[in-house]
Chains A and B, each alone.
Chain A
Amino acid sequence: MRIGVITFPGSLDDRDAQRAVRLAGAEPVALWHGDHDLHGVDALVLPGGFSYGDYLRCGAIAAHSPIMAEVVDAANAGMPVLGICNGFQMLAEAHLLAGGLIRNDHGNFICRDQGLRVENTSTAWTSDFAQDAEITIPLKNGEGGFIADADTIERLEGEGRVVFRYLGVNPNGSINDIAGITNERGNVVGLMPHPEHAVEAGFGPDTPAAMRSGVDGLAIFTSAIRALASV
C-alpha cells in the first residue's frame, strides 16, 4: 500500500505525515507540487504548513499547483485524499470540499490538544473509529474558522458529511463547531486538527494514562489502508 504525501513550498508537516503513514503500516511516497505525476500511489495526503506564506488566501496559490490537476482527477475517480490543516484549505480552494476557512474569530493563532467527536465513520479515512468516538489530537492554526452559506451547512449536516466536530470548546469560530468534512462520495476528507502528530506514544498529546501517550490520530491512516485493502 503506497500513500503519497505532497510537498508544497511552505509545507511543514509533510515529514510527519510520511511518518504517520509508515507507522500505520503503509509505504509513504514523497510527491512534489511541481510535478504532473502521482507515481502510482493508492491514496494522497495534503499536509499542513503555510504554503506560499498563506499569501492571497491560505492554500489558494497551492491549489493552482501543477500536481493539483492530477489530485482533482484522482479524487473524482474515488482515490482516498486527506487534507490536514493547510491541506484542508487547499482542498476547499480546489473545490474538492465545500466551504472555506477564514481567520480565527478571536484573531489569535491557537495551538492546543483538541477534543473531537468522530461523527461519520463511513469515510475512507475514519472507518477504524467507533461511531461518535471522542479523540484528542493537536490543533495549530491561525485561519481555521470553517464557514459556508446556510444551504451548504444544511446539506453537510443533513447528509452526515460533518466528519469531525470540536468538543468542549470551539477554538476558532467554526460554524456548528465543524472541524472536518467529507465530499459526497466519502473519499475526500479535510480537517484542521493534526492527526499525524498523535501517532506514536511519547510524542502525542497527554492522556490520563501518561504524558504524551496519545495516539488517537493513527486510526485515520489505518482507516485508509483498510479502505484500500477492501477495494
Chain B
Amino acid sequence: MPTIVVEVMPKAVLLDPQGKAVTGALHRLGNTAVSEVRIGKRFELTVDEVTDELLAEVKTYADEMFSNSVIEDVVSIEVQA
C-alpha cells in the first residue's frame, strides 16, 4: 500500500536543543567534521490509494496538526509506492 511521507523540521532560525545535545555528543566522541545536527520529524501515513483530495487533506493536517507554524516548517510531502 502507498505511503504518504510528511517531514517537519524546527525553523532554521530557532535553537534546536535536541540537535544541539546530539552535536555535543558527536564532538565528545571525537568527531570534528559535523558542525551542526538538527532533528525533525517524519510522519508515514499508510493509505489505500492516493488521490488529489487526500493529498490536499494531508497538506491541511501537515500544516495544522503535524506542525506548528510558529516553531516548525513542513519541508516535504511525498508519496512512496
Contacts and interface: CB of A to CB of B under 8 A. Distances in A.
A99 interface: yes
Contact of B65 (A64, A103, A147): A64
Nearest to A103: B17
A147 B14 contact: yes
Nearest to B70: A100
B70 A92 contact: yes
Interface string A192-219: 0000000000000000000000000000
A106 B66 CA distance: 25
Contacts of B72: 57
A161 B36 CA distance: 35
A173 B16 CA distance: 12
Interface in B24-81: 65-66, 68, 70-72
A54 to B, nearest CB: 13
Contacts of A93: 68
A148 B13 CA distance: 11
Contacts of A102: 10, 14-15, 17, 71
A107 interface: yes
A105 B17 contact: yes
Interface of B: 10, 14-15, 17-18, 20-21, 65-66, 68, 70-72
Given A100-B71, A107-B18, 7 more contacts: A57-B68, A57-B71, A57-B72, A64-B65, A92-B70, A93-B68, A102-B17
23 contacts: A56-B66, A57-B68, A57-B71, A57-B72, A60-B65, A60-B68, A93-B68, A99-B70, A100-B68, A100-B70, A102-B10, A102-B14, A103-B18, A105-B15, A107-B18, A107-B20, A107-B21, A145-B15, A145-B17, A147-B71, A148-B70, A149-B70, A173-B15
